[in-house]
Structure 1
Amino acid sequence: MPKKERYIVVIYSSHMGSIEKNLANLKQKNSLLVIDLYQQRRESTPNVIYATAGTNTLLKIIHRFHIREVPSYFMIKKQNENGLYKQDSQIYLLD
């Protein structure tokens, strides 16, 4: 479960190739929560949490955050001590 105050959420597909180069600049700013639509499991590191989910959950994330293209990213910020996070930026394309 995420514990930090802020995260950059990255939505991507590992089917499109490696994303490590793209994540390098983002890692300097905040911790990352990286969600793979292709659902390949990866080992997390202290500043990068790699996550997968079932198809229905992924569809809800795409719909909830209005993801139109991948890879894309946005900020989330902790709202309360119960672990509720809310979107804290617009959606950006990751180049």
Structure 2
Amino acid sequence: MKKCCPGFPIAFMIVFIIGAFLYYFYSFKSIAEIDFGKDVFYQTKGGEISLFEPKATKYQLCFYSSYIPKWEETLALKQNIPLLALDIYQQGEIQKHSVFNLKVSSEILLKLIHNFNLRDLPKCFIIAQDKENSMVYRYLRDDGIYKVLNFNKLGE
């Protein structure tokens, strides 16, 4: 007796494995998260260094390079959201009232570069405070497939 569809179980398994991989990859990569309770961020103002403690519900997190000419002009400083400025070389300092110049360890900097998928500089993101944990801030990706995955969350 011949089977109806001998290749069906193999094709189904391949589609299932690919689907599971894509779901896992995109569901965990669609949100970039910063935990200010676990990761230590320092702020500098006028040469003084202190521990950064977030107080606002939203921040604009900007990664930039102080070696780029006119780097201060490249950052989007026109919004009413406080700016967290993070120089990749950890040397630049912006002298504005609503700007927090952040310094981090190399380990945290590499983690942020990976989580926010930085490919070019300067790059800015809006991060919002988590409702359950006030020390966790999240950024929902809104480009490509992430726009579909985060559609309901982006409207909040």
The verdict on a shared fold, with TM-score over 0.5 as the criterion, is: yes
Corresponding pairs, count: 90
Matches within 5 A, 1:1-95: 1-23=53-75, 25-40=76-91, 42=93, 45-80=96-131, 81-88=133-140, 90=142
Distance 1:27 1:17, change over 3 A: same
Q: Is the 8 A contact 2:58 2:127 kept in 1?
A: yes
Quote the Cα distance in structure 2 between the aligned partners of 1:57 and 1:78. 19
Displacement over 4 Å in runs of 4+: 88-91
- Whose helix fraction is larger, Structure 1's or Structure 2's? 2
Once superposed, what is the RMSD of the aligned Cα atoms? 2.2
Scaled by the length of structure 2, the TM-score of the pair is: 0.50
Specify the SS of the correspondent of 1:21.
helix
Deviation at 1:18, TM superposition (A): 3.5
Q: Deviations over 1:15-65 (max 9, x none)?
A: 223422233x43433110011100116366431001121211111000011
Letter in 1 for 2:64: Y
Measure how far apart 1:12 and its partner are.
0.7
Q: Which runs of 5+ in 1 are unaligned?
A: none
